[in-house]
Amino acid sequence: MNIKNTICLALAITFLWSGHSISYSQNRKALLTLSKLSEEFEALSKKVSPAIVQILVTGYIPTGNGSAAVFTKQRGSGSGVILDPTGYIVTNAHVVDGARRVQVILAVQEKRADASSILKPRGKIVGAQVVGIDRETDLAVLKVQESNLPVLILGDSDEVRSGQLVLAFGSPLGLQNTVTMGVVSATARQLRTGDPMVYIQTDAPINPGNSGGPLVNTRGEVIGINTLILSQSGGSEGIGFAAPSNIVKNVYEQIRASGRVRRGIIGVNAQTITPLLAQALDLPNSGQVLIADVMHFSPAEKAGLRVGDIILSLNGKRMENARQFDVNLYKVAIGDDVILEIQRKTVNKMVKVAIVEQPDDPERFSDLVSPEKNLIPQLGILGLDMSETIAKMLPTLRKKSGVVVASRSNLLYEQDQFVPGDVIHAINNQPIGSLAELRTFLKNLGRYDPVAVHVERLGQMRYVVFELE
Is 200 found in the same domain as 54?
Answer: yes
Query: 171 with 77: CB under 8 angstroms?
Result: yes
**What residue type is assigned to position 162 of the chain?**
S
pLDDT of residue 194: 56
Domain end, chosen from 296, 322, 357, is at 357
Active-site annotation holder among 94, 298, 309, 313: 94
Is 121 found in the same domain as 257?
Answer: yes
Cα–Cα distance measured from residue 354 to residue 267, given in angstroms and rounded to the nearest whole number: 10
What total number of domains does the chain contain? 3
- pLDDT confidence of 308, banded at 50, 70, 90? very high
Q: Does pLDDT of 337 surpass 50?
A: yes
Is 131 found in the same domain as 165?
Answer: yes
443: CATH: 2.30.42.10
Cα–Cα distance measured from residue 321 to residue 344, given in angstroms and rounded to the nearest whole number: 17
Is 209 found in the same domain as 294?
Answer: no
Q: Of residues 41 and 403, which shows the higher confidence score?
A: 403
Ranges of beta strands (E only) in 328-468 are 337-344, 347-354, 356-357, 375-376, 381-385, 403-408, 423-427, 430-431, 450-457, 460-467
Active-site annotation holder among 157, 211, 236, 298: 211
Ranges of beta strands (E only) in 66-108 are 70-84, 88-91, 99-105
Domain end, chosen from 206, 239, 263, is at 263
Which is it for the CA torsion 391, 392, 398, 400, positive or negative?
positive
Q: Does pLDDT of 44 surpass 50?
A: yes
Q: Does pLDDT of 79 surpass 90?
A: yes
| Nearest partner of 133 among 28, 250, 8, 259, judged by Cα | 259
* 84 is known as an active-site residue: no
Burial label, 230 (beta-carbon count in 10 A; 0-12, 13-18, 19+): exposed
Which residues, in sequence order, are CB contacts of 401 under 8 Å at separation 6+?
386, 425, 433
| Nearest partner of 123 among 111, 105, 146, judged by Cα | 105
pLDDT of residue 340: 96
- pLDDT confidence of 2, banded at 50, 70, 90? low
Please write the tens of the pLDDT for every residue from 421-459.
899 999 998 999 999 999 999 999 988 888 889 999 877
Query: 366 with 423: CB under 8 angstroms?
Result: no
Is 71 found in the same domain as 52?
Answer: yes
pLDDT of residue 112: 54
CA 90 to mean position of chain CA atoms = 11
Computed over every residue of the chain, the mean pLDDT equals: 83
Cα–Cα distance measured from residue 89 to residue 425, given in angstroms and rounded to the nearest whole number: 41
Is 353 found in the same domain as 241?
Answer: no
pLDDT, average across residues 271-300: 87
Q: Does pLDDT of 29 surpass 80?
A: no
Is 305 found in the same domain as 256?
Answer: no
pLDDT of residue 119: 62
Q: Does pLDDT of 272 surpass 70?
A: yes
Measured CA distances, 359 to 256, 263, 456 (Å): 22, 8, 17
Cα–Cα distance measured from residue 430 to residue 449, given in angstroms and rounded to the nearest whole number: 15
Cα–Cα distance measured from residue 384 to residue 388, given in angstroms and rounded to the nearest whole number: 12
Active-site annotation holder among 97, 138, 203, 422: 138
Instruction: Among 61-65, 377-381, 396-400, name the one with the lowest average pLDDT.
Output: 61-65
Maximum Cα–Cα distance across the chain: 86
* 293 is known as an active-site residue: no
Domain end, chosen from 263, 280, 295, is at 263
Cα–Cα distance measured from residue 81 to residue 49, given in angstroms and rounded to the nearest whole number: 9
DSSP state of 91: E
Angle (CA) 299-300-306 rounded to 5° is: 155
Please write the tens of the pLDDT for every residue from 251-270.
999 888 878 777 788 999 89
Containing domain of residue 124, as a range?
1-263
CB atoms within 10 A of CB 281: 10
Please write the tens of the pLDDT for every residue from 115-147.
555 666 678 999 999 998 888 889 999 999 999
Residue 439 sits at φ, ψ, to 5 deg, of -65, -40
pLDDT, average across residues 22-38: 71
pLDDT, average across residues 200-208: 90
Is 188 found in the same domain as 230?
Answer: yes
**What residue type is assigned to position 324 of the chain?**
Q
Q: Of residues 321 and 89, which shows the higher confidence score?
A: 89
Cα–Cα distance measured from residue 159 to residue 325, given in angstroms and rounded to the nearest whole number: 17
Is 386 found in the same domain as 373?
Answer: yes
Cα–Cα distance measured from residue 170 to residue 213, given in angstroms and rounded to the nearest whole number: 5
pTM of the prediction?
A: 0.68
* 296 is known as an active-site residue: no
- pLDDT confidence of 66, banded at 50, 70, 90? very low
pLDDT of residue 380: 80
Angle (CA) 30-31-32 rounded to 5° is: 90
Is 443 found in the same domain as 399?
Answer: yes
Q: Beta partners for 58?
A: 75, 101
